[in-house]
Amino acid sequence: MLKDDVALFSRLYIVTQHRDGDLDTFFKHENHPYPPSLAERGKLRQGKKSDLTNILAQKTQEEPSGSFDVRVLDGAAVVHLLPVTGITTFDDYASGVFVPHIMRQLETSMRVDVVWDRYLDNSIKESTREKRGKGVRRKVAGQTKVPGNWPDFLRDPTNKVELFQFLSEKIVSLPSQTESRSLQHLEPL
């Protein structure tokens, strides 16, 4: 790694001299594949979300009141949060677990927005997900059996896209809410 850096800087230094470049300007710019603050030994440092827990706990304000105008839910996080034990099909999961959870959120808010997200190709999150390995591919349809290993199922990006689309359709098909309460969703990207 160090030899590569020395060779690179040597070539860049020679080019700078040959083109009558200014060395002060040359060294004002970072010459690394990643910003030094985010790198460790030339590689991108992998942080953990749990590292932020203590910092966020110190910054957290008082507990908010129990009633909200709007709740915005990360649909993917809700899917990871809810249990699938005792569920046979994807229809059972939607009608017996996911939709009831979303409807409970409407009891203490005027509106619930469910937002879906996914990893984009060539992103840091995508590379992290790839390190975890690929899951088992399963077609998502109402009468299809829910896989026994739910986390493994959720590792496959195609499974997640189909599941999020399936659950979005279930949310959209719900009857209109009474008392001016509404349920919104954003389609998966």
pLDDT tens for each residue of 65-82: 667 788 899 999 999 999
Query: In the structure, what pLDDT confidence band is assigned to residue 178 with cuts at 50, 70 and 90?
Result: very low
Using CA atoms, how far apart are residues 152 and 141, in angstroms rounded to an integer?
Answer: 18
- Return the minimum-mean-pLDDT range out of 10-14, 111-115, 133-137, 168-172: 133-137
Domain ranges for the chain, please list them. 2-44, 68-186
Task: Kindly report, residue by residue over 86-114, the tens digit of the pLDDT.
Answer: 899 989 999 999 999 999 988 888 888 88
In the prediction, which pLDDT does 131 show?
64
**Residue 53 or residue 182, greater confidence:** 53
Percent of the chain with pLDDT over 90: 13
Of the ranges 3-17, 79-93, 153-167, which one carries the lowest mean pLDDT score?
A: 3-17
Give the mean pLDDT of 34-46: 75
Query: Looking at residue 70, what is its pLDDT?
Result: 86
Average pLDDT over residues 56-66: 73
CA-based R_g, the chain, Å: 24
Among 60-64, 109-113, 153-157, 179-183, which stretch is predicted with the lowest mean pLDDT?
A: 179-183
pTM confidence score: 0.58
Confidence of residue 152 (pLDDT cuts 50, 70, 90): confident
Q: What is the pLDDT of residue 179?
A: 44
Lowest mean pLDDT among 25-34, 37-46, 156-165: 25-34
Report the sign of the C-alpha dihedral through residues 137, 141, 144, 149, in that order: positive
